[in-house]
């Protein structure tokens, strides 16, 4: 059998303890990169330990907004 193709989906949520600053608008800023790295690490860990873990291939933070 051939494996099912990967499906991409978008999840939007609010982080209530992250103060938004204009640095988060710029993907080249140090704050954006550091925040993205932490978010990806935390989401990867959470989703790998969930029921979708065996088929989970990673997540990607694309932007932050006010």
- 28 located within any domain: yes
pTM: 0.77
Burial 20-39 (b: 16+ CB within 10 A, else e): eeeebeeeeeeebeebbeeb
pLDDT under 70: residue ranges of the chain: none
Measured CA to CA, the distance from residue 42 to residue 64 in angstroms comes to 16
**What is the structure's pLDDT at 9?**
80
Q: Which domain holds residue 40?
A: 22-55
Model pLDDT, residue 3: 76
Q: What percent of the chain has pLDDT over 90?
A: 47
Looking from the CA of 26 toward its CB, the CA atoms found within 13 Å total: 7
How many domains does the chain fold into?
Answer: 1
Query: For residue 13, how many other CB atoms are within 10 A of its CB?
Result: 6
Q: What is the pLDDT of residue 12?
A: 84
Give strand ranges (E) for the chain. none
Residue 44 has a pLDDT of 92
């Amino acid at each position: 059998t051939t494996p099912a193709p990967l499906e991409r989906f978008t999840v939007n949520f609010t982080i209530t303890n992250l103060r938004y600053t204009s640095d988060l608008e710029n993907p080249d800023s140090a704050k954006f990169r550091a925040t993205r790295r932490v978010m990806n690490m935390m989401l990867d860990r959470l989703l790998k330990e969930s029921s979708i873990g065996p088929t989970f291939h990673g997540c990607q933070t694309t932007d932050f907004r006010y």
